[in-house]
A = this chain, B = another copy of it.
Amino acid sequence: MAKQTFQVTTTHPGNGTRVEIQARHHRIIADEPPELGGTDSGANPVEILLGALGACQSVVAVVYAQKFGIRFERLQIELEGDIDLDGFFDKSNVRPGFSDIRYKFIFDSEEAPEKFQEFLNFVEQKCPVGDTLGNPVALRRAEIVVNAPAAV
């Protein structure tokens, strides 16, 4: 039984778009750039999502490189995705999320480029974040708690 539960907590102060993400003892700041109404104190949530995908693909690549007889000295991944902001801003009923995400793998390696095709097919198949994005996930609101703020 290899099922593992991962947990994080986010905290927002009730105004602005800056959010603290706490994952165990690690903290990440999310914010929006000025053109999306924020103060740009961190990457925004959809950028963080793309980054999670690239980081995950990188880890899977390094873990399985040996299985495919591949060595590389550096892996850069350029990721991008399109969002129609009319969805988020409720100007239309278009879906607010990414419909598609594209990425480019750039390896520093002495291997022949042909070796990477089958390797990357495998990497994509075993990538937890890629799998999560490529398939529909059941999102469930478990609970709503409303606490009265402490009296001043």
Q: Which A residues are closer than 8 A to B by beta carbons?
A: 2-17, 19, 21, 23-24, 26, 28, 30, 32-33, 37-38, 42-64, 71-91, 95-113, 116-117, 120, 124-149
Inter-chain contact B19/A145, CB cutoff 8 Å: no
For A137, list chain B residues within 8 Å (CB). 81, 97-101, 133-134
Residue of B with least CB distance to A42: B26
Copies of the protein in its oligomer: 2
Inter-chain contact A89/B12, CB cutoff 8 Å: no
- Sample 28 A-B pairs with CB under 8 A, ordered by A number: A2-B85, A3-B85, A4-B82, A4-B84, A5-B80, A7-B78, A7-B80, A8-B80, A10-B51, A10-B54, A10-B58, A10-B79, A17-B59, A23-B50, A26-B42, A28-B28, A28-B43, A30-B52, A44-B55, A46-B52, A87-B128, A88-B128, A96-B131, A101-B137, A102-B140, A102-B141, A106-B145, A120-B141
On whether A76 and B139 interact (CB within 8 A), knowing A21-B51, A45-B52, A52-B46, the answer reads no
Lowest 7 A-B CB distances belong to which pairs? A97-B131, A10-B54, A21-B51, A97-B132, A45-B56, A30-B55, A23-B43
Most chain B beta carbons < 10 A, residue from A45, A55, A96, A147: A55
A121 to chain B, nearest CB (A): 9
For A81, list chain B residues within 8 Å (CB). 5-6, 137
Residue of B with least CB distance to A3: B84
